[in-house]
Chain A
């Protein structure tokens, strides 16, 4: 069956440009998460969507980062005026529900962003 998909797989951009990263969660999963994995760092949480509830944006590192989820399915993470420190692998995950011991998160292959 189809897992979480992300596009593009790689993105190289120039400092100051805006980028959009896309995530298609597993069909039927109500919860969607964005994480970032920087070189030498662990994975850090960015943002979380659950159904029609207001997203948890508390992990976004600056106001240059935003995300939306349309129709409870596809999500787009937007980074405006990219900086070199934004270079990282951006991972999306989805789960059938949120919270609780049964919440297993399934990850996509990631988008590797390089800001020159």
Chain B
């Protein structure tokens, strides 16, 4: 069974600092990995999707890397802003499966 872990569960950083969020998964047989953002009381917003053949994806201040062999992904947010405060969820789509396996999230607070 695929298990996804996100550490730390919660973190606070001052505005302007770079954010580094880590995700690890136990089975490297995946189709892709998605990073999502969830604001309190809201649904999930897809940030980046990395296919298993890719090493990274970038969108604006966001960069996500994937090391499938070691079962790790990192989401990097440059020059954090208070509006980046949210919970960030990592999810993998295992081979032969249609269901995403989620981590429990990194709860981020960016302090103005």
**A residues with CB within 8 A of B:** 4, 6, 31, 33, 35, 41-43, 45, 48, 50, 56, 59, 91, 93, 98-110, 112
Q: Cβ of A33: which chain B residues have Cβ within 8 Å of it? A: 98-100
Q: Cβ of A31: which chain B residues have Cβ within 8 Å of it? A: 98
Interface residues on chain B, size class: 20 to 34
Q: Which of A41, A45, A59 has the most CB of B within 10 A?
A: A45
Question: Are B31 and A42 neighbours in the complex by a CB distance under 8 Å?
Answer: no
29 contacts between A and B (CB under 8 A): A33-B99, A33-B100, A35-B100, A42-B105, A43-B100, A43-B102, A45-B100, A48-B99, A50-B98, A91-B43, A99-B31, A101-B51, A103-B31, A103-B32, A103-B93, A103-B98, A104-B32, A104-B34, A104-B46, A104-B49, A105-B46, A105-B100, A106-B46, A107-B44, A107-B45, A107-B46, A110-B42, A110-B43, A112-B41
Q: Report, nearest first, the 4 A-B pairs whose CB atoms are least far apart.
A: A101-B51, A45-B99, A107-B44, A109-B43
A107 contacts which of B31, B32, B43 (Cβ < 8 Å)?
A: B43
Question: Are B98 and A101 neighbours in the complex by a CB distance under 8 Å?
Answer: no
Given the interface pairs A43-B89, A107-B36, the reply to whether A99 lies near B43 with Cβ below 8 Å is no
**Closest CB-CB distance, A26 to chain B, in whole Å?**
12
Cα A41 to Cα B52 with chains together (Å): 26
* Secondary structure type dominating chain B contacts: strand
**Cβ proximity bits B85-104 to A, threshold 8 Å, 1 near / 0 not:** 00001010100001110111
B12 lies within 8 A of chain A by Cβ:
no
B26 lies within 8 A of chain A by Cβ:
no
B70 lies within 8 A of chain A by Cβ:
no
Q: Cβ of A112: which chain B residues have Cβ within 8 Å of it? A: 41
Question: Are A101 and B46 neighbours in the complex by a CB distance under 8 Å?
Answer: no
A43-B102, A50-B98 are known contacts; what are 6 more A-B pairs with Cβ within 8 Å? Answer: A33-B100, A45-B99, A48-B99, A101-B53, A103-B93, A104-B49
